[in-house]
Amino acid sequence: MAVKHITILGSTGSVGTQTLDLIAENPGAYEVCALIGGRNVALLAAQARQFRPALTVISDASLLPELREALAGTNLAIAGGREAVLEAAARPVDWTMSAITGIAGLEPTLAAVNHGGIIAFACKEALVSAGDVFLRAIETANATLLPVDSEHNAIFQAMADGNGKAVEKIILTASGGPFLNHTLEEMHGITREAALRHPVWSMGAKISIDSATMFNKGLEIIEAARLFGLGSDRIEVLVHPQSIVHGMVCYADGSVLAQLGSPDMRIPIAHTLAWPARIATGAPRLDLAAAARLEFFPPDEKRFPALRLAREALAAGHGAPAVLNAANEVAVAAFLDRKIGFLDISHIVEAVMQRLGAPPVDDLGAVLALDIQARDMAATLTAVKAA
């Protein structure tokens, strides 16, 4: 098998580090050509020393001197800042991991798309905010988009027989997060620390809060609509606390195909890394006898309004999903900074959506302009809540 050339956007995050772990476990199969990290200089330098890419980039240009010092004597090429990130992302490779969290991942991912190849996609916000722009770029470049999110990867695998036209609906599962059994009254007093303690998955701060509010699942509804060409009425969400069944596809003949596995992100990452082949991972093997039972039930949209807001944004189309995503990012950051309460997150997002509506976004510039507008409005509303 030919060596696969790799770029990782977001190498110091959870998905990026797990991707590199899998590459290290398969010596000779992959060559890391570029690493792009955020602010963790020590980790990025350690990754560069281990994998010796042709280019290592830190997105925060102010940290470039620190990275240069950390890699002194290695003769490795390094750079910093937005332009360096885009230049690194645009270098032709066989496979790119897109794992930069939030809208910040949009431009680098589009730069990677433009050279074709395989894009392993863990940056759902970019597809949510710029779905039409992003999918047009994929088609124009003849690139291949492989979903890394465990739910969308599960759906992708369950559709592997190619009978997409026979799909009646898909089912995305949700763990329910740490507050699945909380009453609405109890949710008023939720703290930052409690929201970050996910009962099943180990994730970064932003996605952990999104899981707790179920905005993560709302974004996944929009992402699924983009990826699989389905309307909101054909995308169902079921709460599944065990997080063993990651997604299901219901077919016209009554068959339901499900993808199961331990709740370990190495499984979907490995699927995209080796696709269309498969590689071994160190993920725990699923023991259904030990699991004992699998539970499924519908989510409570009164306690978790993120699902309703996401469906409303999807129905409105145009720039509404970009508004939802931008407002949510600002509100989550404010909650993590202890400026607003847990339930304020969805209130702020809904208020911004009501004010901005669904303006047209025909290109990247329009998406980014609307993103800024929604963030400014969300920041204003957040300041009012915090006062």
Are residues 188 and 103 both part of a single domain?
Answer: no
Rounded alpha-carbon distances, angstroms, from residue 252 to 34, 165, 248, 249: 44, 9, 13, 10
Confidence of residue 177 (pLDDT cuts 50, 70, 90): confident
9-38: per-residue pLDDT in tens?
999 999 999 999 999 999 999 999 999 999
Residue 312 lies in a domain: no
Per the model's pLDDT, the better-predicted residue between 268 and 202 turns out to be: 268
Q: What per-residue confidence (pLDDT) applies to 385?
A: 85
Are residues 135 and 270 both part of a single domain?
Answer: no
pLDDT at 5 over 70: yes
Mean pLDDT of the residues in the chain: 94
229-275: per-residue pLDDT in tens?
999 999 999 999 999 999 999 999 999 999 999 999 999 999 999 99
pLDDT at 94 over 70: yes
Work out the average pLDDT over 294-312: 96
Are residues 324 and 252 both part of a single domain?
Answer: no
330-339: per-residue pLDDT in tens?
999 999 999 9
Are residues 384 and 341 both part of a single domain?
Answer: yes
Of 145-159, 199-213, 328-342, least confident by mean pLDDT is 199-213
pLDDT at 3 over 90: yes
Segments forming the whole domain that contains residue 122: 4-147
Are residues 154 and 285 both part of a single domain?
Answer: yes
Q: What per-residue confidence (pLDDT) applies to 1?
A: 63
Residue 311 lies in a domain: no
- Rounded to the nearest angstrom, the gap between the alpha carbon of residue 283 and the centroid of all alpha carbons in its chain is 20
CATH of the domain at 358: 1.10.1740.10
Q: What per-residue confidence (pLDDT) applies to 328?
A: 96
What is the pTM (predicted TM-score) of this model? 0.93
Count of residues for the chain?
Answer: 387
Count: domains in the chain: 3
Q: What per-residue confidence (pLDDT) applies to 101?
A: 85
CATH of the domain at 20: 3.40.50.720
Work out the average pLDDT over 109-129: 92
Q: What per-residue confidence (pLDDT) applies to 81?
A: 97
Are residues 91 and 162 both part of a single domain?
Answer: no
Are residues 212 and 97 both part of a single domain?
Answer: no
